Amino acid sequence: MTDGILLAVAVVLLALYVTWTAGRLDRMHARVDAAWAALDAQLVRRAAAARSLLPHLPAGPERAALDQASAAALGAAEQDRDLVENALTRAVRGAVPLLPSSPDAARALAELEAMAHRAVLARAFHNGAVSGARTLRRRRLPRLLRLAGHRAMPQFFDVEDTALPPDRESAA
Amino acid sequence: MRVGIVCPYTWDVPGGVQAHVHDLALSLIELGHDVSVLAPVDDPDTADLPSWVVPAGRAVPVPYNGSVARLAFGPLSLTRTRRWLRRGRFDVLHVHEPMTPSLSMLACFAARGAIVATYHSSVVRSRALAVFGNSLQPALEKVTGRIAVSPAARRTVMEHLGHDAVLVPNGVFVDRFASAAPLDGLPPGPRVVFLGRLDEPRKGLAVLLRALPGLVERVPEVHLVVAGPGDPDVVQELVPAALRDRVVLLGLVSEEDKPRVYASGDVYCAPNTHGESFGIVLIEAMAAGTPVVASDLDAFRRVLDDGDAGVLFPVGDADALAERLAALLLDPERRRTLAAAAWRVVHAYDWHHVARQVLAVYEAVAAATPVTLDETVDEPDVDDFGQDDDPTRLSETLRRWLVSVRDRAVP
């Protein structure tokens, strides 16, 4: 009789724990999704800010490279997003030294710097959420019971941060 | 933005985290944001509480990280934290030092939505994490954005949590320090200033006191001005009777007088032995235009630009300290050069600049956090009907629930 009660209590506790873990896992995935949406939006804003440098640049290979890279970044699919963003970072790095010292160009550059800085933040928070979800998914219980269902393992988003000017780099 | 900030340490006891939270809140309010700070307060009646601080009750002293931290952690604190969260309806919750068992950790347990955590210390081991291990993870994983105030704190976050943190330095109201006048009534002659708890070993007052005889030998008319709370016995112990009149003890100084204390020194000395992850005192002294002599801890070395903006000496080495203090006191030209270099460093730490960096983090975190459905549900504020702050409320609720269960079971 007591064995039966103990067993029932154990089963209930285990069921509660599994439900709670599944809920936690679900929330972690929701965080990853939200963080990716934010990062995606911020990368698009960065690409748009990079495009607004174009009118200030003299014609030449750097301007063409920035034109092409920023257009690619605006229309990038999720799979090759990291490569496209790195290409944009390099194109920006090549183009910035050619900017004239006009107030308009300075304003466009400041806007790009702010957007790049925010993209760095968004990427850090996205990768933080990914790391949390991955840690939980790798634990025994979620793996054994397949609590994550059919959801793909969240992936880190790795890109260079070099679109930032030196003073921002030290701050970010 | 509606911002809720949780300070884990007792508000009416001075400390680095408390000062940081205070200044951050002021800067955010100045920028037009709506800020509420939840903090343990020992005596809400006598403490001079700003209107935006919500007291969360008394805290108990706990030895932690080589010193004594005063923490609030328990069912009553949790109830108050919940109520504060419910009433605040914050866009962003900003907790400080959530790795200590404190209000910050309770807030992480209780809150939903966008949470930012700032890590101040660079403790090598978190005792809380070692004891509770994975059971704290569910609270900590709710944090979307992490801020570290120093590279050392950032390394700690990465090693213990496996997460990156954004580096946003501590801030200083530069103007307040730059415009300060020296205190009245101090002895004339060159003065070395120290600010910090007298009896906290890692602040290193003992090192400075041991350096005093060597310093007086080289600069006979020098005085030490020591500002900070604590037991002055250490002075009696370490300073020979003949030199005791060289040490001026100011005791605990008010926040208003602090800039004047810095401005009173010809040199500011930070002889800290360890445990300092940032070194806000250095920035404050530099903002007041006082050249700094500091122990060569990593954090100090970084703030002082590897010795370009201040003088470094080997940690704990009283002889080297005496020698370097004397050399600087006898060289006004070098003091001017250092003060000018320090002024250039200080601007990156001005709150005006730092608060905007924190705001950028808030916005990024708010954008990266899913909106949960239950967050939008209006919960009835039960506490409005009950007696406020009644510790028996929980047991009363439990009793009523048991009665209702019994009534249902026994018709």
Query: Which pLDDT belongs to residue A51?
Result: 92
Query: Which pLDDT belongs to residue B214?
Result: 92
pLDDT for B93 beyond 90: yes
Residue of higher predicted confidence among B387 and B343: B343
Q: Which of B143, B168, B368 sits opposite A38 (nearest CB)?
A: B368
pLDDT by residue (tens digit) across B231-278? 888 888 888 888 888 898 998 888 889 999 999 999 999 999 886 666
Instruction: Give me the amino acid identity at A160.
Output: E
What residues contact residue B144 under an 8 Å CB cut-off, 6+ apart?
A31, A35, A125, A128, A129, B114, B115, B116, B365, B368, B369
Residue of higher predicted confidence among B64 and B58: B58
Residue of higher predicted confidence among B46 and B342: B342
Q: Chain A closest CA to B170's CA: distance in Å?
A: 12
Half-sphere exposure (CA, 13 Å, Cβ side) for B80? Answer: 23
Residue whose token pair is 């890590």? B119
Residues of A in contact with B365 (CB under 8 A): 125
Count of CB pairs separated by less than 8 Å, A with B? 74
Query: Which pLDDT belongs to residue B377?
Result: 46
Give me the mean pLDDT over the B148-172 stretch. 84
CB of B168 less than 8 A from some CB of A: yes
Residue of B nearest to A117 (CA): B360
**Model confidence band, residue B392 (pLDDT cutoffs 50, 70, 90):** low
**Model confidence band, residue B394 (pLDDT cutoffs 50, 70, 90):** low
pLDDT for B384 beyond 50: no
Partner residues linked to B115 by β-bridges: B93
Q: Are B220 and B234 in contact (CB under 8 A)?
A: no
Q: Chain A closest CA to B220's CA: distance in Å?
A: 43
Report chain A's mean pLDDT, rounded to a whole number. Answer: 84
**Helix (H), strand (E) at residue B207:** helix B205-218
Q: What is the ipTM of this complex?
A: 0.83
Report chain B's mean pLDDT, rounded to a whole number. Answer: 83
- Can you give the C-alpha Rg of chain A in angstroms? 23
Residue whose token pair is 């080495």? B317
Contact assignment for A135 to B162 by CB distance below 8 Å? yes
pLDDT by residue (tens digit) across A144-172? 877 777 788 888 888 776 444 443 333 33
CB of A110 less than 8 A from some CB of B: no
- pTM here is 0.77
Query: Percent of chain A having pLDDT more than 90?
Result: 30
pLDDT for B197 beyond 90: no
**Dihedrals φ, ψ of B383, to 5°?**
-70, -20
Residue of A nearest to B361 (CA): A121
Query: Which pLDDT belongs to residue B375?
Result: 47
Query: Which pLDDT belongs to residue A172?
Result: 32
